[in-house]
Amino acid sequence: MQMTGAQIVIECLKEQGVDTVFGYPGGTILNIYDELYKHQGEIHHVLTSHEQGAVHAADGYARSTGKVGVCLATSGPGATNLVTGIATAQMDSIPVVAITCNVGLPLLGKDSFQEVDIAGVVMPITKHSFIVKDVAKLAKTIRRAFVIAKSGRPGPVLVDIPKDITAAVTEFKPYVPSPVKPYTAEIRQEDIDCAAEMIKESKRPFLFVGGGAVASGAWEEVRKLSHNLQIPVTDSLMGKGVFSGEDPYYTGMLGMHGTKASNLGVTKCDLLIAVGARFSDRVIGNPRNFARNAKVIHIDVDAAEINKNILVDCSIVGDAKEILKQLNEKLSPCQREEWLEYIEQLKAKYPLKYRQEGLTGPAIIEELYRQTKGNAIIVTEVGQHQMWAAQYYKYNMPRTFLSSGGLGTMGYGLGAAIGAKMGNPDKIVINVAGDGCFRMNMNEIATATRNNMPLIQVVVNNQVLGMVRQWQTLFYEGRYSNTVLQDKVDFVKLAEAMGAVGIRVTTKEELPKAIAKAIELNTTVVLDCIIDSDDKVFPMVPAGANIEDAFDEDDLT
């Protein structure tokens, strides 16, 4: 059948099972938006307040559902406003397809109004970027974009379409996409055997899970491996929820703001099994001394990650879920009571702790956990509040903690929370932000209220750029250069002005009632929680130091 390029875009989205897209219209993408208007019963479009909010929403939708997130933007500044969100998705391996439209073919390369080579701009921060100059190739390109986004190591793909291509007509043939199968081509039996022997011989193994374990859906296999072989488990920021935070074998996060139990345990282990983790600098600290007493097994779908940051003794390349299935079949249950007892002693000696008097970031997170019973989707911005949310909320399932790990994008959370809520309408979704982060994209509160969205926005308000100020306190002799905000923005009034409910919390005693009300109201609520400017995230490892050198407030006195 004959179709325009714009019609083909919509039909291809429907083929891929896309029911929700996020975006902001403009001149060059009007043909696609006109088709969206005709298909609003099949594809729901969420109009965000800014294109950056749209790409973060697509990212949050993808992280929380496991599906591909889709966003739309017009040419020029519309397209370039997606760049930070695309880079965020690339760093954390999130499947997003961004569809932009450009000026017509005769205007390309002539510095036309709102023209930019967006495919070239995003080339270093996508798995692939396309510009479609022939309408006959449009359907094939969009279909390929979805396969690329979700196959192997997931990631973002951009498809740029000149406006005249969206109006051009060509023959379109419907297509039923085949499921993308887990990547197993490079899984070698000798690597499986090598890893199994190393695990059998180990007396002090430690399991370290990252975002790849979430992407592959390997949580059941990870838990089976740990429980059957009595292996303690730590995680990265991206690996939250793969292993339950309530499990007795769980030791807390690893790295710069990880627990002392995890950092010391990994330092003492004789075998580290890393599953879908890229050994970020924020995790390993000084690479020369990281897990220096251990042999390392690295399981990852991306061969480029092997030996990139840490030299390993055994590697298995492929889908983590399939690899762990095969490993579990080869390994019989065993006892490691002495090792587990040592880990329990570390956990007892070095628990996470914080100041109990007054309202604090950790107190806010613990109360959120208590009232949601660990069943909410927690989204964060980046900074102190992000670390508190990682430390003090116990994540029982994957895809319930959404945060910008690799790029560290301030302003990520609110858009991502909107995406998560659209993908999980029956879940409580809470975005935890610092006041500095919230100010960056707080305009998306208007998006939430426009869509009558039950969403809780917690502002951990300390009137400073908390994490940067913490570094200035500890390493820059208290020279607070441009980190003290103390502005006159009233977040409660701002929430009300955008159609949300605003609640201010100034004491620890007010907190339970305020959170309960926010949940009960079932609407968009902003909780403005005032905490002390000097509250800090502990433990902490100085940048580049050994992870066992983690210190807390007691060590500073």
Active site (catalytic) residues: 51, 113-114, 163, 467
- CA–CA gap between residue 86 and residue 51 (Å, rounded): 11
C-alpha distances out from residue 370 to 42, 354, 365, 375, 516, Å: 38, 17, 9, 10, 10
Q: What distance in Å separates the CA atoms of residue 111 and residue 345, rounded to the nearest whole number?
A: 66
Q: How far apart are the first and last CA of the chain?
A: 76
Rounded to whole angstroms, the Cα distance separating 97 from 84 reads 14
Cα angle for residues 122, 128, 133 (degrees, 5° grid)? 85
Spell out the alpha helix ranges (H) of 307-430: 320-330, 337-349, 361-372, 384-392, 413-423
Phi, psi of 187 (to 5 degrees): -70, 120
Which residues does 426 contact at the CB level (< 8 Å), separation at least 6?
none
Residues 6+ apart with CB under 8 A from 41: none
3-state SS assignment for residue 493: helix
For 504-517, b/e burial (b = at least 16 CB within 10 A) is bbeebeebeebbee
By C-alpha distance, which of 54, 91, 57 is closest to 74?
54
In angstroms, the Cα distances linking 220 to 241, 333, 394 are: 11, 16, 17
Tokens at residue 206, please? 């430690």
Given a contact cutoff of 8 angstroms between Cβ atoms, the answer to whether 418 and 366 are in contact is no
DSSP string, 67-101: S-EEEEE-STHHHHTTHHHHHHHHHTT--EEEEEE
Backbone angles phi, psi at 93, to 5 degrees: 60, 55
How many other C-beta atoms lie within 10 A of the C-beta of residue 254? 32
Q: Residue 523 in contact with residue 452, Cβ under 8 Å?
A: yes
How far is Cα 422 from Cα 69, in angstroms, rounded to an integer?
11
Order of strands, sheet of 314-317, starting from the edge strand that comes earlier in the sequence: 250-253, 233-235, 205-209, 271-275, 295-300, 314-317
Do 160 and 100 contact (CB within 8 A), yes or no?
A: yes
